[in-house]
Structure 1
Amino acid sequence: MGTLTTQQSVTIALDAIVTDKRLQNRNVGMQKFKEYSDGKRYKGHIADLSRSMRTKGQLTPLLVVASDEGCQWALAEGADRAHPVPSKFFLVDGHHRLEALQRVGIPTALVTVLPGLGFLDALDACRLSNQDIVQGMSPDERTENAWSAMNQERDTYRRLAVKEAAEVLGVSESTIKRFRAAVRQDGIDAGKIDTNASKEKIDMQLLAYWGRAARKHLAVVSWRTHKQARRKPSSQASAAAMRHKIKMAVVQTVLGTDGEYDPTDVLRALVELGEHAQRPNAIEYLINKFKPKISQPVLGDDNDDDGMEDLEYARLQDAVAALNTQRYAEPQAGSTKPIAEL
Structure 2
Amino acid sequence: MTEKIAVLGAGSWGTALANVLAENGNDVRLWSHKPAQVAEINEKHTNEHYLPAAKLNENLVAYADMGEAIKDVEMVLSVVPTKGVREVGKQLGALLKANNQKVILGHATKGIEPGTYKRVSEMLAEEVAPANRSALAVLSGPSHAEDVIKHDLTTVTIASDDIKAAERFQAAFSTENFRVYTNDDVIGTEMGGALKNIIAIGAGALVALGYGDNAKAALLTRGLAEISRLGLAFGANPLTFIGLSGVGDLIVTGTSANSRNWRAGYQLGQGKSLKQVEEDMGMVIEGVSTTKAAKELAEQRHVEMPITDAIYQVLYEDKDINQAIKDLMKRPAANETN
TM normalised by structure 2 equals 0.27
TM normalised by structure 1 equals 0.27
Larger radius of gyration: 1
